[in-house]
Structure 1
Amino acid sequence: MNSNKKAARLVGILFILAAVTAVIGLLLYDPILNESDYLTAGAEHSRQVVLGAVLELILVVSAVGTATTMYPILKKYDGTIALWHVCFRFLEAVLIIIGIISVLALLTLSQEYIAGGAQNSSVFEANGTVLKAIHEWTFLLGPNFMLGINTMMYSFIFYKSKLVPRFIPIIGMTGAALVFTCSILVMFDVIEQVSVWGALLAMPVAANEMILAVWLIAKGFNDTPLLKIIKEKQNVSS
């Protein structure tokens, strides 16, 4: 039970760390992703952009950490879905890493543009457009599409097992469905990802992660269903 409480606290801390690094990292990318003169602004704010990339790498570690730390507990209730959750969380992490690489490549492009005296701007802009598009797609498919699948999986197990109060996985499953729907709507150009609708559809899943994180740090997993599993295994072995 003590090890499960430690695991719960670690998961809660990692959820918070992932959220903080994701938000700050995206803000630090602003000069190179959102400025109209990003080919110049990127090189001028190179350290800021690199810091954003480092924070996103911490996000990747945190995201994988939540899945692998929860796996030994979740698999007691549904081994298949628990394994799927780890696999899809890894896919989410891979997509985020591809997005990081695209931003760092865009930074190199910006530095080369400045070093070359801003010549052949049309060629640099064409390459920059491709790299920015890669980041936009990975940002959609990772922290939206895959996040919706991942959140639905662990929330379903939490709901079934009662490891946490059921209102938390209900928020989680609702948020998962909404953020997944948001990603599909963005793919078909119904809404913009960075928009009021995009924010509203993503808000419940973000709220779920923070509520879950605080609960796990403060209370941990519910001991009753875990004790039941232990007793069942003892009865089988005896």
Structure 2
Amino acid sequence: MWQRPRRATTVAGVLVVVGTVAGALSVVPVLEQPGYLDRLTAHHGQVVRGAVFQAVMVPACAGFAVALHPLLRRTDPGLGAAFVGFRFVAAAFHLVGVVALALLLPVGEAYDGAPAAVAASLEVQAELLRVGRDLVNHVAVIVPLALGDTALFAVLHRRRLVPRWLSGCGLAGAALSVVASVLLLAGAVPVVSAVYLGLNAPLGVQSLVLAGWLVVKGFAGGVLSGRSSS
């Protein structure tokens, strides 16, 4: 019984790292520059790279939940199901972000050399796709991720499957991430800002620490036999 749970937590920890690296590589800097539509075709490879790595985040996001769910349902089936459900919602929105980014490429190609009237229309289309992708990535993805992580950390905290300081930091970080998304949705902060990035940083750091813990330590022994240690 020991080998299977340890394999699951190891896989989960590795998927967190994969998702974090893919997330960093999915950033498309050209989209944050003024007049990005003029540069879009020249930065075709950057856009494609961003779409590919965001696509990698789909199985990483969902796989993390799939790996841990058989262990979590032994201690709290309800919260375990909520964790998986919210993770799959976030993974689906990642796909929407991939599609939005891919659609920017033909708009950029059509924009090059287009008449002024057509160019103005293409600028509106491109901005809708860019802003839409930002809202998908930083609201529609982040909020379900944070809600799913809240369910996960609640189980980990209640059953002491990891140290309580680690699960407690996760609960606080998830709450801060939701606050960041609400501020972004309200137009109070931009994506590239110290406030938004600062509010998301605690959960990002905690996720990497949790990943290391899952790979090296796994869960506390009580989950292996279905016992609670609350």
- Tell me the CA shift for residue 228 of structure 1: 4.7
Counterparts of 1:83 and 1:214, CA distance in 2: 24
- Tell me the CA shift for residue 189 of structure 1: 2.5
Q: Does 153-162 or 179-188 show the bigger shift?
A: 179-188
Q: In the alignment, residue 126 of structure 1 is paired with which amino acid? A: V
2:24 maps to which residue? 23
Q: In the alignment, residue 14 of structure 1 is paired with which amino acid? A: L
Q: Aligned pair in 2 of structure 1 residues 44, 167: CA closer, same or farther (>3 Å)?
A: same
Give a deviation string over 1:120-153, Cα, whole Å, max 9, x none.
Answer: 2101101111111210110122342222211111
Q: Write out aligned runs for 1:91-102 (5 A).
A: 91-102=89-100
Q: Aligned pair in 2 of structure 1 residues 190, 83: CA closer, same or farther (>3 Å)?
A: same
2:76 maps to which residue? 78
8 Å Cα contact 1:144-1:182 kept in structure 2: no
2:110 maps to which residue? 112
Q: In the alignment, residue 40 of structure 2 is paired with which amino acid? A: G
Q: Does 138-147 or 99-108 show the bigger shift?
A: 138-147
Give the structure-1-normalised TM-score: 0.89
1:169 maps to which residue? 167
Counterparts of 2:37 and 2:180, CA distance in 1: 30
Residue 13 of structure 2 corresponds to residue 12 of structure 1 = yes
1:2 maps to which residue? 3
8 Å Cα contact 1:183-1:193 kept in structure 2: no
User: Once the two structures are aligned, what percentage of the paired residues are identical?
Assistant: 25
Q: Aligned residues, how many? A: 225
- RMSD, aligned α-carbons: 1.5
Unpaired runs of 5+ in structure 2?
none
Give a deviation string over 1:186-235, Cα, whole Å, max 9, x none.
Answer: 222233332111111111110110010001111111123423539xxxxx
Match of 1:127 among 116, 125, 147: 125
Q: In the alignment, residue 139 of structure 1 is paired with which amino acid? A: N
Unpaired runs of 5+ in structure 1?
231-238
